[in-house]
A and B are shown apart, each in its own frame.
Chain A
Amino acid sequence: MSYAYLFKYIIIGDTGVGKSCLLLQFTDKRFQPVHDLTIGVEFGARMINIDGKQIKLQIWDTAGQESFRSITRSYYRGAAGALLVYDITRRDTFNHLTTWLEDARQHSSSNMVIMLIGNKSDLEARRDVKKEEGEAFAREHGLIFMETSAKTAANVEEAFINTAKEIYQKIQEGVFDINNEANGIKLGPQHNTVNPAQPSGDRGQQGGQGCC
């Protein structure tokens, strides 16, 4: 499919907050209550439309386990947007936000748009973190905030799309250099007809650059 831009997203947060469920809800519009532990990183992609422009979201769903932190950190690079997820029924996931945020800020572009997501909003009875607290945290750290439910799909679309809108706006403002892929934005080809031999070649080059 042709697209105007490709945005790379990364979903981060403690294990079990529902990162993979959010992705599945967004890409497949379904909910899977039992999910295998994510190993390293999994991927999802979806086309969205902003201002009549087709934008492909390439979403990297990272493993939340502490042991994978060293690996997942290496995936932060080149993300245009990050969804920092906590579980509103588990205060510890909210308390770890600062660490996640530091990690994200340290390993990614400074322009990266971060959306704070309080997931599992359907479990109102078991709420442990007030919405106001999430709002306050987001305000304090300059994040966008939303409470979602991967189960009921509430605000899931909005979370992904609003992040994309923010990124798009930054592009319009010239904050993002769209020609620098380290920002997590790629200009889409008219048609995604990449010469199969080419990408590997490119990658080899990039690898060379990376090592220097």
Chain B
Amino acid sequence: MADSDSEAEVTFESADEGDEGEVVEEVTEEKVTNEEKDTAESDSSQPQDHESTTEHSAQDDAAAKSSRTEGSVDESRTKAEDEMEETDGGKQDDENSGEHTEGSVNKTERTAASDKAGDVKDMVQTDDGNEAEGTPGDEKEQEEPEGEEIVNRGAPVTETEDTESNAKAGGAPQNASAAPASGGGSWGWGGWGTSLLSSAAATVTKVSDNVGKGLTHVLENVETSLGVLKPEELREIEKQEAEKKAKEKEEQSSQPKEGDQETQEGDSRQDESEGKEKEEKEEKEEKEEKEKAGAGIGGFFSSGASVFTSAMGKTVTGGLDALEMLGRKTMDILQEGDPRLEKKKGMVIPKRDKTNLSDVLKQAKKDADEEATRRQEEEEHQKYNYSFLFDQYQGLAHLEALEMLCNQSETKVQSSISIVTDEKLDELKTELLEVRDAFQLEDLDAVDEDTASDQDFVNVITELLFSLSVAATPNKLQRVQKETRDWLANHITQLKGDGDEEDKDKADIKEVHAKAMQTLAELTARTIEQFHKVAELMLLGQETEQAKAKSPVERATTLSKLASILSAEVSSVATKFCELLSSMGDQGSEEVNTIITNIYLEASNSASYIQDAFQLLLPIMQDIVVTTLNSAEEEAS
């Protein structure tokens, strides 16, 4: 604000600079005359030129002060306001002091316009011997707020001016409400200020309109309040003082008319220089005011009042002009390269529909959390998911590979049968059927007893594999089986040790469930892998002497045994897990029962996988039969 103030000042200053010097000089002259009263008339008639017109009309102290104010208005509208204050105080000045003041003002005006008000005050204070000490202090107090108000809002300024003019006019205080009314800012300047940016589009025009309207209002207010005195004590005192002075200067009552005319002239000139239509209006209204004031109170008084009012009006106009200027400039700068202020609007007013960064981040975090939770659940679920675990142990892959071998062998057998001669066909068919019959799973219960101990299981498997004349060793199967048995044994002893704790049971039940699923899946997968390897090796090693030593039917029987043992092992493991579980929890516990059911279900799945894999071996075995037969034939021939 301060910056713009000074800017405005500078602008005005430069605009009026040419006239300034003269004005001041004349002002000085005139004031001297006016204030001295005697010479006032003759002096005042002389200078009719320039902006000083208003000042010419001024005959009393108040007028003199306002003339000073006028000068400052030319240079700096804001400062003018300060000076107005000063002027109020300045009423108390002697005429002599007025002279001095003028002189000093004269000098200061030329140098620094912004300092002018302060200088004047200083001069007033120092030169005026009679000056009441309290007044300058008041002035200073009022100085800053006043200045700010002018820039910020038009309304308060007007108010002050109104009251001041009232005070100066010395008119009867009739319309106390006038000031507050005008000060209420009913024409929405406050709103105008804040909504400046948002009402971007035709703002410039609006601004000027507003200013115009505002001006009218101001003038109206000034008008209405002219005959009015605001019953504020401070003003009252000032008024009284003003009245005293007015009485002293009653003789000069003849001057007002001249003054009026001069004022008009001066005003119009100023208008020319400033090029503002509004001021013309103002002028007229000022005249009206003066007339009114004159009618209401004595001629002299009215003249004084009118002068002051005109000064006030100008001040107001000046203030408003400064504001308008500010507004225009601001808008110009704002609209530079952004004609409809779209960009700046976007900058100032946050767009609601656009998602901001924090929202995006929040959403991302939420998604990540959900994903993590989902994964965790999935992983948790997978611990108990037999199918997943089975796939994890490549059970499905081995099954698929075995199936491919099976398909290949099947095709081979089919084609062989079609080629074979009739007499050979019977022989072949018999052997193929024998092999097929051999591919029946033995009674599981019978085998179960044989695999009671760990060592038996491994021995039996190894033995069977050896009898298949295959180099495959059941390393993986053995490892799984051993691990499982060890684990079970550990847990059973553990259970006997501290099976009382409920919490531990809970955790253990889950653990046992997971372990059971994992064991079943791994055992099944390894079994299928074993079958797969056996199939590969049998197909690969058909030509070896070892292979020939055993008939396909014998091998088939061995494979059946192997399958039975492996199936039995799976069900045995399942049973052991279930026993462990039931010994852990209450028999009636739903959770335990559900898990036990689940384990038995998956155990039966395992058994069916193993049987399926086993059945896939049949075509391979038959393939071997055919190949063996063919090779035997070749040998024979």
A interface residue numbers (CB < 8 A to B): 1-2, 39-41, 43, 45, 58, 60, 67-68, 70-71, 74-75, 77-78, 191-197, 199-200, 203-204, 206-207, 210-211
Asked whether B608 is an interface residue with its Cβ less than 8 Å from the other chain, the reply is yes
Assess whether B405 is interfacial by the CB under 8 Å rule. Answer: yes
Q: Give 8 closest A-B pairs by Cβ, nearest first.
A: A40-B536, A210-B407, A196-B605, A200-B612, A43-B397, A43-B394, A74-B408, A211-B410
Docked Cα-Cα span, A1 to B406, in Å, equals 29
Return the contact of A60 from the options B387, B397, B536 (Cβ within 8 A): B397
Q: Does B68 contact A (CB under 8 A)?
A: no
Chain A interface, DSSP helix/strand/loop, else mixed? mixed
Most buried by B among A1, A45, A203, A206: A203
Majority SS at the chain B contact face: helix
28 A-B interface contacts by CB (under 8 A):
A39-B472, A39-B533, A40-B532, A40-B533, A40-B537, A43-B394, A43-B397, A43-B398, A45-B397, A60-B397, A60-B401, A67-B540, A71-B540, A75-B404, A77-B404, A192-B391, A193-B385, A193-B387, A194-B387, A195-B387, A196-B386, A196-B390, A199-B399, A200-B399, A200-B608, A203-B612, A207-B410, A211-B411
Residue B325, interface by CB 8 Å = no
> Which residues in B have their C-beta under 8 angstroms from that of A2?
378
Interface contact B378-A68, CB-CB below 8 Å = no
Q: Which residues of A lie under 8 Å from residue B616 when comparing CB positions?
A: 203, 207
Q: With A and B bound together, what is the CA distance between A71 and B404 in angstroms?
A: 10
Q: Give the distance to chain B from A19, nearest Cβ to Cβ, in Å.
A: 16
Q: Chain A's nearest CB lies how many Å from the CB of B610?
A: 10
Task: Determine how close the nearest CB of chain B comes to the CB of A184; give it in whole angstroms.
Answer: 11
For B397, list chain A residues within 8 Å (CB): 43, 45, 58, 60
CB contacts (< 8 Å) of B602 on chain A: these are 196
Contact in complex: A211, B539 (CB < 8 Å):
no
Residue pair B472, A197 in contact (C-beta under 8 Å): no
Residue B142 CB within 8 A of the other chain: no
Nearest chain A residue, comparing its CB with the CB of B609: A200
Interface centre among A192, A200, A211 (most CB of B within 10 A): A200
- Chain A: minimal CB distance from B367 (Å): 13
Given contacts A39-B537, A40-B533, A200-B399, 14 further A-B contacts (CB under 8 A): A2-B378, A45-B394, A58-B397, A71-B405, A74-B407, A75-B401, A192-B387, A193-B388, A196-B386, A196-B387, A196-B390, A196-B602, A207-B406, A211-B410
**B396 CB–A CB distance under 8 Å:** yes
Cβ contacts B394-423/A at 8 Å (1 or 0 each):
101111110111111011001000000000
Residue of B nearest to A67 (CB): B540
Closest A residue to B605 using CB positions: A196
A21 to chain B, nearest CB (A): 18
Expressed in whole angstroms, the minimum distance between the Cβ of A61 and any Cβ of chain B is 11
Give the CA-CA distance A74 to B539 in the complex, in Å: 12
CA–CA, A197 to B391, complex, Å? 13
Interchain CA distance A204-B537 in the complex, whole Å: 22
A74 & B387 in contact (Cβ 8 Å cutoff): no
Instruction: Specify which chain A residues have a CB less than 8 angstroms from the CB of B408 in the assembled complex.
Output: 74
- In the complex, residue of chain B having the shortest beta-carbon distance to the beta carbon of A44: B394
CB distance from A33 to the nearest CB of B (A): 20
Contacts of A68 in B (CB 8 A): 536, 540
Cross-chain contact A210 with B401 (CB below 8 angstroms): no
